[in-house]
Chain A
Amino acid sequence: MSLSFAILTALLAIGLLALFFGVVLGFAAVKFKVESDPLVEQIDQILPQTQCGQCGYPGCKPYAEAIANGDEINKCPPGGDITIKKLADLMGVEPKSLDAAHGQEDIKKIAYIREDECIGCTKCIQACPVDAILGAAKQMHTVIVDECTGCDLCVDPCPVDCIDMLPVAKGTSSWRWDIDAIPIKQIG
């Protein structure tokens, strides 16, 4: 009698506890739901945001989501090896070399519209993922240099091929020191 009572009590206690924790967890799952995957955000922070689509996804965020879901990390030519290394660190995988199928790492370029050839068709404006092209129908278009990511997407739609991708001019502000030491030595 006492044994069965003890078993019953134990079962009841465990059952109640399970019920309680179930309710708590269920409540927490609803109440403290994480809106988006923080990992995606972290990956998105690393990606270069050119929105060029060379990875095969329509922008950096979708690629970030794909990486979070297990896609390869070496599909981003604008980011190059630095980005791959960072992604490898974040995802805890071995860094790979850039997948050549998606393009080669290139020097930084920005679009330039030869303005006297522009016919004002607005096709490039529609193609620009970051609204970096200014213009209106039948008006000359121009690229806002500071906003251009060099994604190349405006070049193909241009019916008169008046868009060039020009390398970003190197200036003293963007210059990187190279090893050119002026060592001095003690004399006398």
Chain B
Amino acid sequence: MQNSFEDIMEKLDNHELWDFPGGVFPAERKTLSNQTPIGKLAIPARLYVTVKQHIGVEGQIIVDVGQKVLKGQALTKSMNPFAVPIHAPTSGEIAAIHKHVSAHPSGFPELTIEISSDQEDRWTKLFPLIDYQHQPKMQVLTTICDAGISGMGGAGFPTHIKSAPKKDIDFLIINGIECEPYITSDDRLMREHAWQIRQGIDILCHLLKPKHVLIGIEHNKPEAIEALQVACRENTNYRVCIIPTKYPAGGEKQLIQVLTNREVPAQGLPVDVGVIMHNVGTCFAIADAIFSGKPLIERVVTVTGEAIKTPGNMWALIGTPVSDLLAHCNYKQTGQNRPNIIMGGPMMGFSVTSDLVPVIKTTNCILAPTDNEIAGNNEQPCIRCSACADVCPASLLPQQLFWHSKAKELDKAQDYNLFDCIECGACAYVCPSEIPLVHYYRIAKSEIRVEQEDKQKSDKARDRFEKREARLIAEQQARDEKHRLAAQARKQAMASNGNTAKDKIAAALARAKAKKQNASIVNEKPIDPTEVPLADKSVQEVKTDESNTSTKAASSNQRVQAAITRAKAKKAAAEVTVTQTELKNKTNASQIIENKREIKHQGNDVKFASKQPSEANMKDQADVNHSLHTADVSPQPQKQVITDSKQLKINAAVAKAKAKHEAQKNASRQDVPNPAPAANVNSPQINISVEQAKTQEQQIDMKKRKITAAVAKAKAKKAAEKEKTSKVDKSS
């Protein structure tokens, strides 16, 4: 249960205070540096302004190398609320923007703007906000932020964020304790600029509206106490509290405890107990920013230690390298085995890695101690004396933390509230074994932080990995589904059109077969002797027959052969025609009737038949047809042969009848010209017709009949043979 405001005020009225547990009383050694007024350092030739000088995020650099800048000109800007800008400490030129050794225990290079000063120190145009009381709070906060003000006590928390709390504030505590040995920068500032500090407090009061303002000053700074008491005389609401000197009374949590007996919860902030604390240096900077518009570009730095000839406090521009300060204060490396410059106090500071380390907004002291002042590092085993636990201001168990930190049992160290350690160094100070306890804690803390960061990163990686896996699986599924659907559609199409496809295949096969057959027929043709003597028309007719039986693919060779045949036939026909015209003249009506009857028998080519001049030709034509037929209907050659022979017999009979008739008619005429020579050359058919013409009476009739029958028989045989061979061809 925290103390009420009234209880606290009552106690403060009685000049009573509370206390914090533990604490140590190291040699103060403040008189080394607090005897002289704050000096002014000459403008260094080079300034190294680190881009990030506070807790939070750095801004974006808005200047370029080679650009001329004026004193107070902003070098960075940012929209991020946790970023405060940095400013050019003096006028000059941007010499470089690069990584430069940083004011950090590690000394790792950090992004730095290097300015070469022109020694003219010309200010940029400043925008003060003198009537801040009539301005909206936001405007005042913006001005503070734009002036680049962050906490100047230690951590460097952006002031404008601290000055805009969401809760009601009981106490605004101004920290002027400065409990660490050697350091006197706040002391001198309070002595010399108490008035301006009070102005800063006024501005903070305007922003925070606290019920009361407590200014805590250790009682070893009587001049500062007096100065501030004078400055705050008119403000009844401000109270200067004299705090007993004890290290670390200047710690935020410890000072709150001393003044209000309120304890800031672990992982909490002072605002949780109704308190806001600001350093006196910050108050001074706020007043500067509001009343003169000056950004935070310089601060008081104590340069002290026994290795410094003329120790004292200096107004140092932000970015001044440590070497300039040391040179100004006559640093001599006497009494030091090796150069040892500490930034900060002896309890909480760190050794700088280079004398080019720049002064930053939180740098309050440069300490150059002799080896006498600083004990050597001869760590011995812990003897469990528990002196550390007695002095711990946070009531921790330092030796337990030490054990676990050293053994890297980080979770156990955390169980002992490692993160409540304020790293004041009181435990290390009292340790009889000279164990650098705080450094073990710092290592453990940074390891835990790194681990947490890794954990966060690994969680993110796991999340991303799992999401990626899920995405890949989903994509695969989508692809599979698509393929499945496509396959289904294809199957369906196959099922619905399957029969036709089969039909198509069958049709194609049939076509191929037919083609082959036709080819064989065409091959047979030229060999067929019956074709040759045919008249031109008959040849053409044969041709049409061919085309009817679908010989589209008749080869050019076949065509040539056909053409040759045609030409031969024409020649033969010319001769035959002569004979036949004579014969025709002698034919009578009965012959024509006979012819017509034959046509009926043939039943095929009426025109062709009617134009045939002789029975023999007619018969031959029939033969040709037969051969075609037999070729066409190859599947039943046996049957065909039978039908063939039948037809042949009929033909033979017809021919016999005709010959008889003709013989009777031509019996008296013996003077028929003999076309035999030509006909003989051409074909047997012609021969037959010539013989016909030559035949005489019955003998001839008989003879002719025999010959025709023989010819017909031979033809039938030949056809049958061909049929067989073609069949063999096909089957092979």
Instruction: Assess whether A33 is interfacial by the CB under 8 Å rule.
Output: no
Determine how close the nearest CB of chain B comes to the CB of A162; give it in whole angstroms: 23
Cβ–Cβ < 8 Å partners of B429 in chain A? 184
Q: Is the CB of A184 within 8 A of B375?
A: yes
Instruction: Assess whether B459 is interfacial by the CB under 8 Å rule.
Output: yes
Q: How far is the CA of A170 from the CA of B450 in the complex (A)?
A: 12
Instruction: Assess whether B684 is interfacial by the CB under 8 Å rule.
Output: no
Instruction: Assess whether A95 is interfacial by the CB under 8 Å rule.
Output: no
Q: Do A149 and B461 form a contact, CB below 8 Å, given A181-B428, A182-B351?
A: yes
Q: Is the CB of A130 within 8 A of B459?
A: no
Per-residue 0/1 for B341-384: is the Cβ within 8 Å of any A Cβ (1 yes, 0 no)? 01000110111000000000000000001001111110000000
Instruction: Assess whether A87 is interfacial by the CB under 8 Å rule.
Output: no
Cβ–Cβ < 8 Å partners of A178 in chain B? 439, 443
Q: Is the CB of B374 within 8 A of A176?
A: no
Q: Is the CB of B465 within 8 A of A49?
A: yes
Q: How far is the CA of A97 from the CA of B349 in the complex (A)?
A: 39
Cβ–Cβ < 8 Å partners of A2 in chain B? none
Q: Do A49 and B105 form a contact, CB below 8 Å, given A177-B443, A184-B374, A187-B373?
A: no
Per-residue 0/1 for A163-188: is the Cβ within 8 Å of any B Cβ (1 yes, 0 no)? 00000001110111111111111111
Interface residues on A, range: 20 to 34
Cβ–Cβ < 8 Å partners of B442 in chain A? 177
Interface residues of B in 417-459 (CB under 8 A from A): 428-429, 434, 436, 438-440, 442-443, 445-447, 450, 453-454, 457-459
In the complex, which of the residues A130, A147, A178, A181 has the most CB atoms of chain B within 10 Å of its own CB atom?
A: A181
Q: Do A188 and B454 form a contact, CB below 8 Å, given A130-B461, A179-B436, A183-B434?
A: no
The A-B contact count (CB < 8 A) is: 109
Q: Is the CB of B461 within 8 A of A176?
A: no
Cβ–Cβ < 8 Å partners of B447 in chain A? 176
Interface residues of A in 122-159 (CB under 8 A from B): 129-132, 147, 149
Cβ–Cβ < 8 Å partners of A174 in chain B? 450, 453
Determine how close the nearest CB of chain A comes to the CB of B305; give it in whole angstroms: 11
Q: Is the CB of A176 within 8 A of B104?
A: no
Q: Do A180 and B468 form a contact, CB below 8 Å, given A171-B108, A172-B108, A188-B27?
A: no
Q: How far is the CA of A64 from the CA of B297 in the complex (A)?
A: 55
Q: How far is the CA of A28 from the CA of B460 in the complex (A)?
A: 35
Q: How far is the CA of A129 from the CA of B440 in the complex (A)?
A: 37
Cβ–Cβ < 8 Å partners of B468 in chain A? 129-131
Q: Is the CB of B461 within 8 A of A182?
A: no
Cβ–Cβ < 8 Å partners of A44 in chain B? 462
Q: Do A183 and B376 form a contact, CB below 8 Å, given A59-B465, A131-B464?
A: yes
Q: Is the CB of B465 within 8 A of A130?
A: yes
Per-residue 0/1 for B466-486: is the Cβ within 8 Å of any A Cβ (1 yes, 0 no)? 111100000000000000000
Q: Do A183 and B374 form a contact, CB below 8 Å, given A172-B110, A175-B108?
A: yes
Q: How far is the CA of A182 from the CA of B26 in the complex (A)?
A: 14
Query: Other CB < 8 Å A-B pairs besides A149-B458, A172-B108, A176-B447, 15 of them?
Result: A48-B458, A60-B465, A61-B466, A170-B108, A172-B102, A174-B450, A175-B446, A177-B442, A181-B438, A182-B342, A182-B351, A183-B374, A184-B346, A185-B373, A187-B372
> 30 pairs across A/B with beta carbons < 8 Å?
A44-B462, A48-B458, A49-B458, A49-B461, A51-B461, A51-B465, A59-B469, A61-B465, A130-B461, A130-B468, A131-B467, A131-B468, A147-B464, A149-B457, A170-B108, A172-B104, A172-B106, A172-B108, A174-B450, A175-B104, A175-B446, A176-B447, A177-B105, A177-B439, A177-B446, A182-B351, A183-B374, A183-B434, A185-B373, A187-B372
